[in-house]
Structure 1
Amino acid sequence: MPSHLAKLLRSRLSIIADHAWRDRDGAGHLAALQNVSEEISKWTTAHRTELDAQLRHYLANASYQKALAHLESAEVKSATN
């Protein structure tokens, strides 16, 4: 399940980084950003009890880059064990 969250977080970062889209279609870009942010919020609400305290903190404070780094760090740790 955290892999789905990581996918959503990466999608959000990708949307933010797409300046050409933003410049070409500001409303569409904003709508996509709002949509993925809502999906992150829904996922967080549905899986809150399954998340560690640090990840919950990052998500509650919309520190999405930190949340993604936390997930990626956990993936690396589990892959090396």
Structure 2
Amino acid sequence: MYKALRDALEARLAVVADHSLRDADPHAHLEKLKAASARLEELAKQLPPNADPRLKHFLERQSYLKARDWLATYA
């Protein structure tokens, strides 16, 4: 579960950082961002009820760098 979540976070962060795609094709960049965000949201919904509240907080607030760091440290 946490590996998939970490991978989805990395994928979304990579899309955000892809300035060349954003500059070349803003529509494609937006669609890629929407897909990455949807995947991440779906995985976040699957977290167990007893998941760490900090991780849930980071995901709910879209603090994705903090969520990634939390996963790297604790998962």
Shared topology, TM-score over 0.5?
yes
- Aligned-pair RMSD on alpha carbons? 1.1
> Quick one: percent identity of the two aligned structures?
32
Q: Is the 8 A contact 1:48 1:56 kept in 2?
A: no
**Matches of residues 1-81 of structure 1 in structure 2 within 5 Å?**
1-75=1-75
5+ residue gaps, structure 1, are: 76-81
What do the CA deviations read for 1:18-56 (whole angstroms, capped 9, x no partner)?
A: 100111110010111111111111111122425211100
Decide which structure has greater helix share: 1
The higher radius of gyration belongs to: 1
TM-score by length of 1: 0.86
5+ residue gaps, structure 2, are: none
TM-score by length of 2: 0.92
**What is the aligned residue count?**
75
